[in-house]
Chains A and B, each alone.
Chain A
């Protein structure tokens, strides 16, 4: 009887050790990835999209593991505040000892974070989704360890310019409004320059405070100038206000155009399908794009259609381009680590530079841009809201529908 008790006791002891040990081991051995997003505040919409993409990638990668370990993404909220972002990033480096940074949104944030990275040797690795400002490309592009997957702003504005040139009847005058921080200011300067070169008349380039509760003064001012195109570069909350208040003021340019923030489901839901109708935005990617599965890694890079189906099944909502960009960024980083066979920085970045594959977002290959060493995804598209859905209208070879132009007056809708 006593022997039996002892056997049971020992069994329990070893059993419990056996259960505890591997878990503790795994926690120690997990590959930590830092992710700083503006999960609350003015950037919350896009940030949550990005977060979902990373979570999906993390779970998929962890089915097989990377180098026999689990990937763990540590999310931090920067509240769209550069100072908060810097301290979050420093916490991730010093306390969590992350292998790389993946994701992020906002050039102001990116600029501050990469600035803070300068004091570390070697600098942290990053697959960066939130850096689109050319100033960032000029300042940090030469760093081999930064893999930029967000198009530089000139790609936006050249795309928008080419699109406007393709529109018939061709618009003559453009009113550019922009939020008054780094993102809006640098994009709008570039837009003005490219538009003027192409022969458009930029009637004004005006700044405003992002997140302000009232844009009627700006819109009233724009309405008085009667431009063909009202083009604004700002964030999601501002897009909702421009739409609602533009309608309230019965401001009828021939075209309302904006950039990426116009493409969120959040925007459409906040203003309503009818009010978003014919609004035009720039996009890096849309779920209606039709890229095939990757030959090399079909299990993580299926065709666009399959990926979108998996994402929609899981999150019960359409993916945003930030969802897939951050998904691809995390998978690319993991594949780099896998190919390098270690977590050693230089080997990982070497392996990432060799990646050349198809992804549901399009072909992925890091190559030099104007100033940067490693940049991927250089093609951009124009979408238009039609009956509550986004339709790709430019460039023509990827277009999924016809542009509706000009914008029907609010009173005739």
Chain B
């Protein structure tokens, strides 16, 4: 195991972790605040990726620029879904909530298929498959952009949560919605905020995916599943936990894949084993509180 290989594996793992974090912080936030598992979360990634793809293909908008547009669009979509659909099932049994979000997911998948066919789509910009060479380590620009974006957006989320009035309100709602209500917090607005952030962050992950990978109508499942693993490992509702769990899974998958024969085939299974072990020892996840 050479040092160069170790460095490269770490870089690969970090960029994967960045993508995981972008997808999962939103999911865990939505769960923390509303106690709803959003099965359509992965579809936000898919829609973000398509938005970025079409903005680029039709109007030549660079993904770095379209990121802003996608964030706005996805914020709007998240708010819309919250006010028109999710709001109605907040007090309903969990099964209804699951059916609703699952239904939203399937609807988006089929809509994407209908509108944009099943073809793989990817954006080709000068930095989409280019890399920065640091000694023996190659850092993909697209994926580094992903890490940077994940750090910035996660950082902003922390600032929001711990430095702003609304962020404090959001944490309060997560801990005790009724007590938050009598603090005079407009709880429905907090729900909208959480869903909007969730959708926007997943959409940002989609932009990264459209540049450094590709997208197709069912790609949301891939990200959704991973995000659920991350969120459960980190502790449902814990943004910090999701960040740490993203790092753990990203690095573990990269190291297993790089240093073990057949590792790429096993990496995912090993992630699940870690998840199971943690859940056995700590049923509420690494940083879960309930």
Task: Report if A and B touch in the complex (beta carbons < 8 A).
Answer: yes
Q: What B residues does A217 contact at CB under 8 A?
A: 9, 12, 253-258, 263-264, 267
Is A158 interfacial (CB 8 A cutoff)? no
Residues of A within 8 A of B2 (CB): 224
24 A-B pairs (CB sep. < 8 Å) = A40-B113, A45-B119, A208-B257, A212-B264, A213-B16, A213-B19, A216-B257, A217-B9, A217-B254, A217-B257, A220-B257, A221-B257, A221-B264, A236-B120, A244-B128, A245-B129, A245-B140, A248-B141, A250-B131, A270-B121, A270-B122, A270-B214, A271-B122, A271-B129
Q: Which residues of A contact B5 (CB under 8 A)?
A: 220, 224
Contact pattern, A 218-248, Cβ under 8 Å of B = 1, otherwise 0: 1011001000000000001100110111011
Task: Contact check, B264 vs A44: say whether CB atoms are below 8 A apart.
Answer: no
A174 to chain B, nearest CB (A): 16
Beta-carbon contact of A41 and B118 below 8 Å = yes
B188 at the interface (CB under 8 A from A): no
A359 shortest CB reach to chain B, Å: 27
A241 to B142, CA, bound (A): 13
Chain B residues near A247 (CB-CB < 8 A): 129-131
Binds A, one of B74-82, B215-223, B230-238: B215-223
Is chain B's interface secondary structure helix, strand, loop, or mixed overall?
Answer: helix
Chain A residue with Cβ nearest B139? A248
Give chain A interface residues in 313-327, CB to chain B under 8 Å: none
Known: A45-B120, A236-B120. A243 touches B129 (CB 8 A): yes
- Residue on B with the closest CB to A206? B262
Asked if A275 lies at the interface with its beta carbon under 8 angstroms from chain B, I say yes
- Is the pair A213, B8 in contact by a Cβ cutoff of 8 Å? no
Q: Report the bound CA distance from A216 to B253 in whole Å.
A: 10
Separation of A243 and B265 alpha carbons in the complex (Å): 19
Question: Are A45 and B118 within 8 A (Cβ)?
Answer: yes
- Determine if B171 is an interface residue (Cβ-Cβ < 8 Å): no
Mark interface residues in A133-152 (1 if CB within 8 Å of B CB, else 0): 00000000000000000000
Q: CB within 8 Å of A: which residues of B?
A: 2, 5, 8-9, 12, 15-16, 19, 113, 117-122, 124, 128-131, 133, 138, 140-143, 209, 212-214, 216-218, 222-223, 226, 253-259, 261-265, 267-268
A276 shortest CB reach to chain B, Å: 11
State the Cβ distance, B2 to closest chain A Cβ, in Å: 7
For residue A207, which residues in chain B have a CB less than 8 angstroms away from its CB?
262, 264-265
In the bound assembly, the distance between CA atoms of A79 and B106 in angstroms comes to 13
Judge whether A215 is part of the interface by a CB distance below 8 angstroms: yes
Task: Judge whether A209 and B268 touch: CB under 8 Å.
Answer: yes
In the assembled complex, the Cα of A33 lies from the Cα of B141 at a distance in Å of 49
How near does chain A come to B73, taking the closest CB pair, in angstroms?
22
State in angstroms the CA–CA spacing of A215 and B143 once bound together: 13
A204 at the interface (CB under 8 A from B): yes
- CB of A266 within 8 Å of the partner chain: yes
B131 touches A249 (CB 8 A): yes
Main secondary structure of the interface of A (DSSP, over half): helix
- Please determine whether A240 and B214 come into contact, CB atoms closer than 8 angstroms: yes
As a 0/1 sequence over residues 40 to 52 of chain A, the CB contacts with chain B under 8 angstroms (1 = contact) are 1100110110000
Interface centre among B12, B223, B255, B259 (most CB of A within 10 A): B12
Flag A185-211 by CB within 8 Å of B: 1 or 0 each: 000000000000000000010111101
A180 at the interface (CB under 8 A from B): yes
Residues A248 and B138 in contact in the complex (CB < 8 Å), given A180-B265, A213-B223, A237-B120: yes
Query: Which residues of the partner chain B approach A212 to less than 8 Å between Cβ atoms?
Result: 264, 268
Q: Hey, which chain B residues are within 8 Å of A206, CB to CB?
A: 261-265
Nearest CB of B to A315, in Å: 12
CB distance from B111 to the nearest CB of A (A): 12
Q: Find out whether the CB atom of B113 lies under 8 angstroms from the CB atom of A248.
A: no
* A171 at the B interface (CB under 8 A): no
B12 touches A220 (CB 8 A): yes
**Cα separation A214 to B267 with both chains bound (whole Å):** 11
Chain B residues, Cβ within 8 Å of A272: 124, 129
- Distance (whole angstroms) from the CB of B135 to the closest CB of chain A: 12
Is the Cβ of B131 less than 8 Å from the Cβ of A39?
Answer: no
Q: How far is the CB of A257 from chain B (nearest CB, A)?
A: 19
- C-alpha gap A338/B130 in the complex (Å): 56
Instruction: Tell me the minimal C-beta distance from B138 to chain A in angstroms.
Output: 5
B253 CB contacts on chain A under 8 angstroms: 214, 217
B140 touches A248 (CB 8 A): yes
B131 touches A209 (CB 8 A): no
Asked if B12 contacts A216 (CB within 8 A), the reply is yes
Q: Are A41 and B218 in contact (CB under 8 A)?
A: yes
A248 touches B8 (CB 8 A): no
Instruction: List 5 tightest A-B contacts by C-beta distance, closest first.
Output: A217-B257, A44-B118, A248-B140, A208-B264, A216-B12
Interface centre among B131, B217, B223 (most CB of A within 10 A): B131
B214 in contact with A237 (CB, 8 Å): yes
Chain A positions within 8 Å of B141 at CB level = 248
For the A-B complex with A44-B120, A247-B129, A248-B142 known, give 16 more contacts whose Cβ atoms are closer than 8 Å: A39-B118, A40-B113, A40-B217, A45-B120, A79-B218, A180-B265, A209-B264, A209-B265, A217-B256, A217-B264, A220-B5, A220-B8, A220-B12, A249-B131, A270-B120, A270-B214
A213 and B120: CB pair below 8 A? no
Most buried by B among A48, A206, A213, A240: A213
The answer to whether B222 touches A213 (Cβ under 8 A) is yes
A184 to chain B minimum Cβ distance, whole angstroms, is 10
Q: Which residues of B contact A220 (CB under 8 A)?
A: 5, 8-9, 12, 257-258
Complex CA gap A45/B254 in Å reads: 28
Report the bound CA distance from A236 to B133 in whole Å.
28
B143 touches A248 (CB 8 A): yes
A249 and B124 within 8 A (CB)? no
* A241 smallest CB distance to B (angstroms): 6
Neighbour of B263 across the interface among A44, A221, A241, CB < 8 A: A221
Q: Are A216 and B254 also in contact (CB < 8 A) when A40-B217, A237-B214, A244-B128 are?
A: yes
- Per the bound structure, the CA–CA distance linking A271 and B214 in Å amounts to 9
CB pair B124 A248 closer than 8 Å: no
Bound-state Cα–Cα, A41 to B255, Å: 28
Distance in Å: Cβ of A267 to nearest Cβ of chain B: 8
Closest Cβ of chain B to A273, distance in Å, is 9
Cα A215 to Cα B261 with chains together (Å):
14
- The CA-CA distance from A39 to B119 in the complex, in Å, is 10
A79 vs B118: C-alpha distance in the bound complex, in angstroms?
A: 10
Question: B264 contacts A218, CB within 8 Å?
Answer: yes
Give the residues from 244 to 272 in chain A that come closer than 8 angstroms, CB to CB, to chain B. 244-245, 247-250, 266-267, 269-272
